[in-house]
Amino acid sequence: MLDHGTNRWSATTRSTVGLAAKNAMLGPESVSNQYLFIESFNVSQRDVLAALEDVTGTRWDVTYHDAEEEKRLALEKLAKGNYSGIPALMRYITCAKGYGGNYMDSEESANKLLSLPAESLHAVLAGLTRHE
């Protein structure tokens, strides 16, 4: 986990992205030519870990990493043409506070405007791990 695993980010399932796109195209004029911010969940790494441990019945060993150090190492790799730093940089951008991973820090949710259903992180992870 990066830092303490408590920074939050906006996460959206593929099915919700598809439904949002459909509803935006068929929706009111007020959504035309607008940036629309949606999310299925607003989670932290700890939230995801707790839900995964619950649905799988498995406890995971957790290693904590300094986010800034992970970013530095990723950028170092990229500077040398080593693209294996990209996943670490993406994780940093998503999970480190202040980099836009949590849209709802600065934007208004369009979930209601687009008639998107409320979703359960637990239910989605249970479905993904086949422990429904």
**Which tens digits make up the pLDDT trace of 7-60?**
999 999 999 999 999 999 998 888 888 899 999 999 999 999 999 999 999 999
Contact between 46 and 120 under an 8 Å Cβ cutoff? The reply is: no
pLDDT score at 6: 95
